Structure 1
Amino acid sequence: MLTCLYKKILLCVALLAPLPLIAAPYTKLVVFGDSLSDSGNLASLPTYSFLNKSPYQHGFTNGAMAVSYLAKFLGLPLKPSLHLDGTVNGNNFSVAGARAAGISGIDLNAQLAVFLQSQAGKARADTLYVIFLGGNDIRDMRDQPEKAAAALLNKATSNIQSALSQLATAGATHFLVVNSPDIGSIPETHALAAASKPNLVSYASQRTSLFNKKLAQTVAQIDKKKGVKIVLFDLLSFFKGLGNNGKAYNFNDTQQACYSSAGFKYYPACNNAKMNSFLFFDEIHPTQRVHERLGRALFSVVPEAN
């Protein structure tokens, strides 16, 4: 059964309600994703060791990731797989910079291959599998001609569909899939638009919408064919809810970045003390407070195990 979180009332409950630590009906959590869920894999590489120093916390934010909060609320451990050196030591395979459509060693197909190899091709039915990426693919589509953007979109959603299918065939039955936030709303897109590409914001928002629509369709096909239980979480609406009601959630700035991951310095209006009053940690990524709220929202829609 496919469930989509599109109702604003449910979103508000997820944002506001305190959640107790509850023993999960699952015995394990496995995550595939990008910088919105990578809690240490990219940081394990010497080139990216800066992610292990303040204000970073082993990933592109100033604290724990949403999936780490999800794991906490489920009562399950979640550690970075550290698989980029050839060995698997954890259950979070996310890598910052990963694409669904990509073919490099950090992308979705590679993450999935490493996981399945580490499990002798089996995916346990008592595990919750999270697939949380797509934003980087949309950033790639952002300024591409229509035909090229459409090809990227189809490849990205097809690869997510394939990942779900492979996991289901290997034995997985419960999935949480997260769509993309509006790439037109991130500070990076606004900066690029202001510099030289005034139509970029609308292009990015349009292509986010197309990606999310296509993702919902492809996920539904897997749900129907495989008889698995999939929840598709609407991250786009989640971020819109925060952005449109920032004051209600004690966010003083919902548009500007606090820190520059390009220049490794705080923007003039922000500093470490003010960081969690900002929605955006840097030009692309949200702050720890957003991740915590998102973790609660994800927990509120986790599919029940059989």
Structure 2
Amino acid sequence: MSEADERKIKLLRENEINNQMIATKSNSDIRYNNLYFLGDSLSDSGAFIGVAREFNIFNIFKSQEFEAPLYKDFCSNGPTYSQILANKLGIKLVPAWRFKFLKQIYEKIGNNYAVAGAQITKLPFWKLKSIFCNNFSLPKQAKALLKHHQLTENDLVIINIGGNELINAVNISDINESKATINNAINIQKATIINLINNNARKIIVANAPDISKTPSFLNSYNMDKAKNLSEYFNSVWLEGMKQLQTKYPQIIKLFDLNVVFNKNLDEFQKKGGITNKGSTDVNYSCILFGLNVKPEFNEDCDFYNINDYFFFDFIHPTSWVHEQLGDIIYDLSQSKW
């Protein structure tokens, strides 16, 4: 066995042990009947790769996989906060989806409908990735959840989506059109939440979006200022819309300020001497849609030994330490009074 293989096995074993420790860290005081996620890669626990295998309609490829240092089917080097939270609440988390492709329905019943790459809205049809992503817009995820489950008053629904919406908005040349796209997205998110409430959802946590200008994808790029301004705009419109819903539906919706937590974690990581200006790896996730494995390539000066010195796993996704912080904070939020 090569030294590289030994390092890989050591890292995977450490992640398995850490995950087991997280699963038994504490017992929930407030217990929920079930836990449901709607969102994107930040809370995806395997739906993206599961759906990609469904799209492999001709069965001409081997079963696609995420390779180390990616952890299992997560877009990080450890479990995403959704899995960490589920462990803390004592609820089994199962990736789920329902979509129609070439006149055939593909579905898996579970409780985590978050899919990497998903947006609140649909992409324009002329964009190639719309063939995939538009099946998992926020309303489509909610529709799948309601098709598979009858919500109870003691179910917890977590909605965490918006990063991909912001990336799309930054790539639009006209700033007014970018803002109009964001306004439309928030209106659709509000309508989706109302739909869930009308279907008996009584405990909903909704997160805003992080400042994407601080991610390696935009940091020090010519679009950094635009990304910062649009992130601020998204979160201001989001807050106004969510406050309106809280007034109309009291004691149902809790707000999670992901942006504030993200910035605080970033500052803390920097003070500890961590690396925050670049990702530990370079990853092309879209290759999974073409039947290929996702194989991260370590960036310069990074390897299996020091990957946890990095705040970002790749161009935009955080490493496992960040997810652990999010899992703890959202757990505490879930245990506070409704």
Q: Shorter-chain TM-score: which interval? A: 0.7 to 0.9
1:285 aligned to which of 312, 317, 325: 317
Please list the CA deviations of residues 183-217 of structure 1 after superposition, one character each: whole Å capped at 9, or x if unmatched. Answer: 101101136x2xxxx2x111111111111111111
Secondary structure of residue in 2 paired with 1:187: coil
Q: Where does residue 109 of structure 2 map in the other structure?
A: 89
1:256 aligned to which of 278, 282, 298: 278
Q: Where does residue 99 of structure 1 map in the other structure?
A: 119
Amino acid aligned to 2:36: V
Contact 1:231 1:303 in 2 (8 A): no
Find the aligned partners of 1:176 and 1:296 in 2 and give their Cα distance. Answer: 14
Find the aligned partners of 1:78 and 1:305 in 2 and give their Cα distance. Answer: 24
Contact 1:186 1:255 in 2 (8 A): yes
Q: Are residues 1:175 and 2:204 paired?
A: yes
Q: Where does residue 130 of structure 2 map in the other structure?
A: none
Q: CA deviation at 1:82?
A: 4.4
Amino acid aligned to 1:296: D
> Unmatched 5+ residue regions in structure 1?
1-17
Find the aligned partners of 2:298 and 2:182 in 1 and give their Cα distance. Answer: 34
Q: CA deviation at 1:100?
A: 0.7
1:294 aligned to which of 314, 317, 326: 326
Q: Are residues 1:141 and 2:169 paired?
A: yes
Amino acid aligned to 1:73: K
Find the aligned partners of 1:181 and 1:39 in 2 and give their Cα distance. Answer: 20
Q: Are residues 1:245 and 2:268 paired?
A: yes
Contact 1:40 1:59 in 2 (8 A): yes
Specify the structure having the higher radius of gyration (Cα).
2
- CA distance 1:305–1:264, change in 2 (3 Å): same
Q: CA deviation at 1:222?
A: 1.6
> Unmatched 5+ residue regions in structure 2?
1-23, 57-62, 100-104, 124-133, 285-294
Q: CA deviation at 1:251?
A: 5.7
Q: Which moved further from structure 2: 23-32 or 179-188? A: 23-32
* TM-score normalised by structure 2 residue count: 0.77
Amino acid aligned to 1:113: K
Q: CA deviation at 1:24?
A: 3.4
Find the aligned partners of 1:252 and 1:154 in 2 and give their Cα distance. Answer: 36
Q: CA deviation at 1:51?
A: 4.8
Please list the CA deviations of residues 48-69 of structure 1 after superposition, one character each: whole Å capped at 9, or x if unmatched. Answer: 9655322222021111011111
Secondary structure of residue in 1 paired with 2:107: coil
Tell me the percent identity.
26
| 1:24-173 map, 5 Å | 24-44=30-50, 45-46=52-53, 51-56=65-70, 57-83=72-98, 86-102=106-122, 104-119=134-149, 122-144=150-172, 145-173=174-202
Question: Over the residues paired in the alignment, what is the CA RMSD in angstroms?
Answer: 2.2
Find the aligned partners of 1:168 and 1:51 in 2 and give their Cα distance. Answer: 37
Contact 2:216 2:315 in 1 (8 A): yes
Find the aligned partners of 1:206 and 1:94 in 2 and give their Cα distance. Answer: 26
